[in-house]
Amino acid sequence: MGMGRWNSGAWDNYAASNVAGKSQAQVFTSRNMKPNYDPREITVRESRDSADNPKSTPIILASDVTGSMGMIAHNLMKDGLNTLAKEIYDRKPVTDPHIMVMAIGDAKSDSAPAQATQFEADISLADQVRELWIEGNGGGNGGESYSLAHYFAATKTVTDSWEKRRKKGYLFTIGDEPIHDGLTKGEIAKIFGHDPQSNLSAQDCVEMAMKTYEVFHIVLKNEGYASSSNGLPEVLRRWKEILPQRVILLDDYTKLAEVVVSTIQVIEGANKAAVAKSWSGSTAVTVANAIENLPANVQQGGVVRLAS
């Protein structure tokens, strides 16, 4: 998938009719998981080149939707998706974005712990995002199953970006909690319909995804679990064990799209200070704080590599 191009005028009209002035419950009306977005029913999600997008770049936003975290998806529908697409077109850190949105919960307790749209390049993505079930449950067990996004990306996506150009896509998980330590054989079988040989640790799942994606986690430091008295240190401890230098602290969740775009810019070789200054007002401060610990890039034979 991934035909067409993003059009901000079309988005404005869509948002005015379907999002503006509406609550989260009014925007996201599904009360169960639709088969179209059920990983068990999905053979593969494809990001393919086309006449409209000859050098497609897959970008996955995998949002925690447990507890109060449905606000992330709501914010994406308010303006986040439009900001993300428009700024990538304008700033050109990568070519021809194909965006997928995933809803992530708890594999140990939720009815729909993982859901995934198609990769899309135009506002047809919006209808799919609105059909995701914002279950809002979670297990109250000190973590969420963000590894579901890593496993899905590794096993159920195929991209021309990687197959034709050996260019990795981008995968961002987003939430306020620590990550559960991977997926059991039973969870993988139930959620994905696979028959794994063994349990997979969180590190295993990240390493699988990193073969074809640049993988990051965005911590909403002022929300939910992370905002509690001892929450943030525990979140960072667990995440930094598996994603050193790729854990991003976000102090204002409404600036999620700007931070995603800025991260891509930095990883593609842009100067961090210059990227932060390119935004205005409080957004510049939020972006500067978020990207300050990203790894520097060094040039090796004309190819940008992440410094160790």
Give the SS3 label for residue 64: strand
Q: Average of pLDDT values for 16-43?
A: 96
pLDDT of residue 1: 56
pLDDT of residue 303: 40
* Tokens describing residue 160: 């021309």
Identify the band that residue 294 occupies on the pLDDT scale cut at 50, 70 and 90.
Answer: very high
Q: 231-269: per-residue pLDDT in tens?
A: 999 999 999 999 999 999 999 999 999 999 999 999 999
- Residue 49 pLDDT greater than 90, yes or no: yes
HSE-up of 150 (CA within 13 Å, CB side)? Answer: 29
Higher pLDDT, 149 or 138: 149
- Residue 302 pLDDT greater than 80, yes or no: no
Cβ(18)–Cβ(130) below 8 Å: yes
Burial 226-264 (b: 16+ CB within 10 A, else e): beeeebbebbbebbeebbeebbbbbbbbbbbbbbbbbbb
Alpha-carbon span 222 to 215, nearest angstrom: 22
Structural domains of the chain, with CATH = 8-268 (3.40.50.410)
* pTM of the complete model: 0.95
Q: Average of pLDDT values for 292-305?
A: 58
Q: 81-133: per-residue pLDDT in tens?
A: 999 999 999 999 999 999 999 999 999 999 999 999 999 999 999 999 999 99
Identify the band that residue 300 occupies on the pLDDT scale cut at 50, 70 and 90.
Answer: very low
Q: 180-213: per-residue pLDDT in tens?
A: 999 999 999 999 999 999 999 999 999 999 999 9
pLDDT of residue 2: 61
pLDDT of residue 67: 85
Mention every residue, 6+ apart, whose C-beta is less than 8 A from residue 277.
Answer: 284
